[in-house]
Structure 1
Amino acid sequence: MATASTPENGDYFVKSAEKTLSVLLAFTGDRPALSVTQVAEATDLTRAAARRFLLTLTDLGYLATDGTLFKQTPRVLDIGASYLAGLSLPQAAKRHLVALAQELDETATLSVLDGQDVLYISRVAAPRLHSVTLNVGSRLPAWVTSMGRVLIAELPEAAREDFIQKIVPQEFTSRTISTTDALRAELLKVKEQGWALVEQELDEGMRGVAVPITRGGEVIAALNVSIQPGRAKREVLTDRVIPLLQATAQRIADDFGGRQLSAGAAGS
């Protein structure tokens, strides 16, 4: 439905702009193709007025029609392009990290590869925690973290092997995968399954679960939650935590322009 103007709207208020936006917003994922009558009903416009708006938007390239039904074109993405262009990945991810941390009551982190390290670019502590020891700008050896393994696993084969060759293996705990052969096998497993689980390899009493964030077919970051072993059984990780991470990663990618890239690819 169109948003009705209110007494607070001043003399500046342009009703035709409101109506234009209401026509564009009438199209949804569930209703991608609409007739003149359906648009009129959705926007509280007369059929004649709805038809004029639809034909004008078609002439401008924002809609296409087969003579009966109208659909949005990829050009509607231009409306939000400048906003997306100025949006940083941490900004796009922040609200999703907050929601994830609250949902799981665990700390959620976003990181990227920087040399041989993972670099924390956004982090939201679990609501139950009053402080965190790692913050934005912190670095950890990528090969021994769940986020790092997700990011290394998605590198092209030659780049991945070069990365592995530069690692200086060491045993941070008794559980650390500390040989290049074992690490290489683990990275192949991570790439195949699409997520990484690191069980107390860097720090006793802590495990990390991570998934990649992909935009336009390119992995741009990793999303992770850190969970103490006693707080969740392994089946909880695979049945609940990982699917929630993957859904959150998709939402972050979409807000960072991933939906725009996908639509552009589909129209090419």
Structure 2
Amino acid sequence: MEGPPSRTDRVGSLERGLGVMEILAAHPAGLSMSEVADRAGLTRAGARRFLLTLVAAGYALQDGRIFRLSPRLITLGRTWLSGASLWTYAEPFMREVSKTLNESCSAAVLANEDVVYVARIAGARIVGVALHVGTRLPAHCTSMGRVLLSGLSADELDAFLTRATITAKTDRTITDRAELSRLVAKAGADGYSIVDQELEIGLRSIAVPIRDRTGTIVAAINVSTQSARMPLSEMEREFLPLLKKAAGSIEDFFVVQ
């Protein structure tokens, strides 16, 4: 059996470049060249080369002095996530939720200002929004988005709310940034979020987080339904326990890895 690769088998510049990407991934609001250099243990000139290479390749964006990862990485992530073992593992639990409630159950991850659907079990009942793996929806007015945003640090959430395009999808959409910050904090404290007709009139959804072994929120799962079918209080009573149970089972994936 082969051992780990030796130093001569590794490409040091690639390792450092991947390190720069990981640093940017941990700071969605972006970093300056000097900040990247400090965190990566690089000279400013070295950081400049890596950052400009990432920009030229389309994997990073430059806004004045600030660099951040670009949505192009979502394509790579989406390809991996759509076939990843996590979602293969999660599907039976999501399917059970969908079958029990006769509603759709979906999973998503945060991607800049949006959530991207990475798994979905369609229910027998029809909702207005056509959703599938790869669908992007605004994070600010979706239940999974608010749950995922609750995993950001205070500084990262402030940066998100500052840069995000926050527009009304319906007359119920909350666009006040201070109120959104409060609702995200509430989602973090409660361990779930309900969004009522903010994305589409007649559509309600409830979401809970999926955490890895470190406790970091890495995804969210939700159930959507029509407002005419399900009062909010009943969603909490009927949907939430099933979602939490499914989330706990999915989180076991990280324990056995």
Query: If the length of structure 1 is used for normalisation, what is the TM-score?
Result: 0.61
- Pair 1:138–1:154, CA change in 2 (3 A): same
Post-superposition, which runs of at least 4 consecutive aligned residues in structure 1 deviate over 4 A?
129-132
Are 1:119 and 2:116 an aligned pair? yes
2:131 is paired with a residue of what secondary structure? coil
Letter paired with 2:247: A
1:184: which partner in 2? 181
Unaligned 5+ segments in structure 2 are 1-82
- Pair 1:178–1:129, CA change in 2 (3 A): closer
1:223: which partner in 2? 221
CA distances 1:105-146 after superposition (whole Å, capped 9, x unpaired): 000000001111100000011034499711000101111110
Whether the 8 Å CA contact 1:108–1:123 is kept in 2: the answer is yes
Tell which structure's C-alpha radius of gyration is larger.
1
- Aligned pairs for 1:185-200 (under 5 A) are 185-200=182-197
Instruction: Report which stretch shifted further, 140-149 or 88-97.
Output: 88-97
Q: What CA RMSD, in Å, does the superposition of the two structures yield over aligned residues?
A: 1.9
Are 1:243 and 2:248 an aligned pair? no
- Pair 1:88–1:248, CA change in 2 (3 A): same
Are 1:90 and 2:87 an aligned pair? yes
TM-superposed deviation, 1:88: 2.1
Whether the 8 Å CA contact 1:125–1:131 is kept in 2: the answer is no
Identity over aligned pairs, percent: 36
Are 1:160 and 2:147 an aligned pair? no
Whether the 8 Å CA contact 2:113–2:138 is kept in 1: the answer is yes
Letter paired with 1:90: W
2:228 is paired with a residue of what secondary structure? helix
CA distances 1:179-228 after superposition (whole Å, capped 9, x unpaired): 11111111111111110000000101101100001121111100001011
Unaligned 5+ segments in structure 1 are 1-85, 262-268
Question: How far, CA to CA, are the matches of 2:220 and 2:152 in structure 1?
Answer: 13
- Aligned pairs for 1:29-68 (under 5 A) are none
Question: How far, CA to CA, are the matches of 2:128 and 2:230 in structure 1?
Answer: 21
- Pair 1:155–1:131, CA change in 2 (3 A): closer
Question: How far, CA to CA, are the matches of 1:87 and 1:167 in structure 2?
Answer: 29
Question: How far, CA to CA, are the matches of 1:215 and 1:242 in structure 2?
Answer: 20
2:175 is paired with a residue of what secondary structure? coil
Whether the 8 Å CA contact 2:127–2:203 is kept in 1: the answer is no
Question: How far, CA to CA, are the matches of 1:134 and 1:124 in structure 2?
Answer: 10
